[in-house]
Chains A and B, each alone.
Chain A
Amino acid sequence: MKTNKTKLNDKVNFVAPKLNKDKLKKYMMGSKDRQGFLPMLIKYILLIGIGFVYLYPLLYMISTSLMSLDDLLDASIKWIPSQFYMGNYKNAFKVMNFWNSLKDSLILAGLPTLLQVATCAVIGYGFARFEFRGKKIMLAILIFSFILPAQVTMMPTYVLFTNLKLIGTLHAFNLPALLGQGIKAQIFILIFYQFFKQVPQALIEAAHIDGAGYFRSFFRISLPSAAPAILVVFLFSIVWYWNESYLTTLFISGKGTSSANAWTSLVVELKNFESIYEQYNQGSQQQLGNINESIKMAGTMLSILPLLLMYVFLQKYFVESIDRTGITGE
């Protein structure tokens, strides 16, 4: 860094000797209260470079999914296809039965999420606001259950759901969500816990003096102020439910049961994309071409497209709420 600086200064001095050396140095390296040009430049280069690496799979996916078979085989075409070929999307669209799967995905992710947000808020409030015996142990169990891999409790839960005849129905997701045991519910409870701790106790006490009960002070005072936390939890929850294919295949699509039923989701379709593709080709009159990279990428793109769209719309609020949620605690 130091050699760089002197070199730069020398060069500039040579070209324009009238320029104030100190001023330039200050401009380049920054002063105590202002960031300099050079660190800023490095920062931007780093951010853009790593940003590209971040976006690389996505860009790759988009570009490949738009390539026709000829483009795909042509070694000279790397990034930009010779024409925007939509055939892959058409094929993937048909094979994945897009509208139906989308509807299923929305329900599968949306309903448990709503339940999860509601119960986690209540539970988090309970932990944050009240003192009761055994709270510390309960919090310890909560954190322990976060560390524990879900696979340990999965089999008995599966048996339980089979006995209750819940496998293959949406209730297999709703019930745990309702009882604060949904996917990664522990994190959400902790987020709400942290957030409700920040609500000033005096505010709630004032409400009590004005005659509000426990529930009223929760619904009227604490909950409205928790809007950023609700948004963050909602977004995370829907994303995690959406992306969950393991439990979806186990509980909802019902792989192990005799009645593999109609419930599906975009991610599950993607997981079994190849076999579904083959099945489709065997089953239907109209044959599709052989599966290739581009079609797979188109399928991948389709399965995350709704999430991407949602993110584009919500990201501003999302980023803002992150700043205010106190996700991290103290």
Chain B
Amino acid sequence: MKKNRKSKLKRRESLMGYVFVAPWMIGALVFLIVPLIQSFYYSLQNVKITPKGRVFHFIKFQNYTDIFRLDPLFLEDLTGYLLDTLLSVPVIVVFSLIIAMLLNGKMKGKGLFRTIYFLPVIVVSGPVMAQLADQGAASIPAMNVSAITSILGDLLPNLLVEPIVGLFNNMIMVLWYSGVQILIFLAAIQKIDSTLYEAAKIDGGSGWECFWKITLPTIKPMILLNAVYTVIFLSNNEQNVIITSIYNDMFAINRGYGFASAKAWVYSLVVCLLVIFIALLLRNKKDNYITEVKKEKKRIQKIEKERRQLRNRQARRSKGLKREGSN
């Protein structure tokens, strides 16, 4: 009786859960799952827009091969994007961590500094950044880029030089992209229990040690989150050439939806792989202590099993002996 009522309550709870989440479920179906399937369908078709409407023509995977055949720039853009992202992500993450550390703690003018450093969150937008970059306001004027270029040219292979120089050229842009990341780090740092630091200081830990032993391990999940966020931000950014090219292909007469869809699929695959790569790189490795405990448990289990087997054998043997004795 009691159990029945409880399950009824549970059922009602879960029903209410569906009611609350329902908008998202419908939205995900209409704007995510169905379009995904359709987009894949498009990517296998040659879509032509005629006065009568869209005409589909099944061409298998030709769109995918066409990307590399007809659009030689795409591959170049893609490798450029990958290198750029792989270089910018560590810079942005480390930089935002440093700023968050600086902004944390007691000091005068905290509000003012925070206002300045959160500003990019508000301002950053495609056209605005494009205008600023056009006018050369995105690079630090005091930095001598050409000197850096010549030094790097001697040290590194050509493939790497260009993105690094690009990074220096657009240094301010990179810094501006780290607004949200600073926010996330700051919120995470502030959540660390201050008694931890006090205890560490009593034990004689320096600020440096505290950072490596307390701050960094605690905010490690946030590093992953920020890295992933940065990748996604950079990939969906309007400054990204690939995004623009997909958009242009969509309305191009000789290419159309099918071609653009195929391109979008290739691009998303690359982005997803990149995210997975970073997630694997930064994933929380299991605690050493826990793995040791598990090993020990396994060992004990193994010993116990052997002991049991031994006992069984002995019991059988003694039984046999008894039987022999009775005989």
Which A residues have a C-beta under 8 Å from some C-beta of B?
32-33, 35, 40, 43-44, 46-47, 50-51, 53-58, 60-61, 64, 119, 122-123, 125-127, 129-133, 135, 138, 141-142, 145-160, 176, 178-181, 189, 214, 218, 236, 239, 242-246, 250, 255-256, 267-268, 270-271, 273, 293, 296-297, 299-300, 303-304, 307-308, 310-311, 315-316, 318-319, 322-323, 325-328
Contact = CB atoms under 8 A, between A and B. Distances in A.
Contacts of A61: 132, 137
Contacts of A56: 137, 140-141, 172
8 contacts: A141-B28, A142-B24, A153-B31, A153-B32, A160-B30, A179-B31, A303-B128, A322-B186
B10 to A, nearest CB: 8
A293 B135 contact: yes
B268 A126 contact: no
Contacts of A273: 127, 131
B24 A189 contact: yes
B137 A57 contact: yes
B20 A126 contact: yes
A200 B131 CA distance: 48
Given A152-B39, A180-B24, A246-B247, A304 B128 contact: yes
B174 to A, nearest CB: 11
B264 A152 contact: yes
A142 to B, nearest CB: 8
Contact of B135 (A64, A150, A310): A64
A138 B125 contact: no
A60 B118 contact: no
A273 B187 CA distance: 38
A237 B55 CA distance: 38
Contacts of A268: 127
Interface string B234-273: 0110100001001100110000010011001101100110
A155 B267 contact: no
State the main secondary structure of chain A at its contact with B.
Answer: helix
Contact of B232 (A58, A60, A123, A147): A147
Given A61-B132, A141-B32, A179-B31, A245 B127 contact: yes
A156 B35 contact: yes
Interface residues of B, number: 92
Contact of B225 (A33, A127, A151, A328): A328
Interface string B1-44: 00000000010011111111101111110111011101100100
Contacts of B121: 236, 239
Interface stretch (B108-116, B287-295, B302-310): B108-116
B124 A243 contact: yes
B122 interface: yes
Nearest to A78: B141
Contacts, number: 263
Q: Which of B17, B19, B232, B268 has the most CB of A within 10 A?
A: B17
Given A154-B264, A214-B16, A255 B251 contact: yes
A267 B129 CA distance: 11
A123 B19 CA distance: 9
Interface of B: 10, 13-21, 23-28, 30-32, 34-36, 38-39, 42, 54, 99, 102-103, 105-107, 111, 113-128, 130-132, 134-135, 137-138, 140-141, 171-172, 175-176, 183-184, 186-188, 190-191, 201, 222, 225, 228, 232, 235-236, 238, 243, 246-247, 250-251, 257, 260-261, 264-265, 267-268, 271-272, 275
A327 B185 CA distance: 10
Contacts of A138: 21, 24-25, 28
A160 B123 contact: no
A53 B21 contact: no
A315 B238 contact: no
Nearest to A239: B122
Contacts of A328: 184, 187-188, 191, 222, 225
B122 to A, nearest CB: 5
Given A179-B23, A322-B186, 20 more contacts: A50-B175, A64-B135, A122-B20, A123-B20, A125-B20, A126-B16, A126-B24, A127-B21, A130-B20, A147-B228, A149-B243, A149-B271, A152-B36, A239-B121, A239-B122, A243-B125, A267-B126, A319-B115, A319-B118, A326-B187
A318 B27 contact: no
Nearest to B16: A214
B183 A54 contact: no
Q: In the A-B complex, list the 9 residue pairs whose CB atoms are closest, starting with the nearest.
A: A126-B20, A179-B27, A130-B17, A243-B125, A156-B35, A132-B14, A156-B38, A153-B35, A132-B17
B140 A133 contact: no
Contacts of A131: 10, 13-14, 17
A154 B246 CA distance: 10
Contacts of B250: 154-155, 158, 256
A181 to B, nearest CB: 4
B132 A300 contact: yes
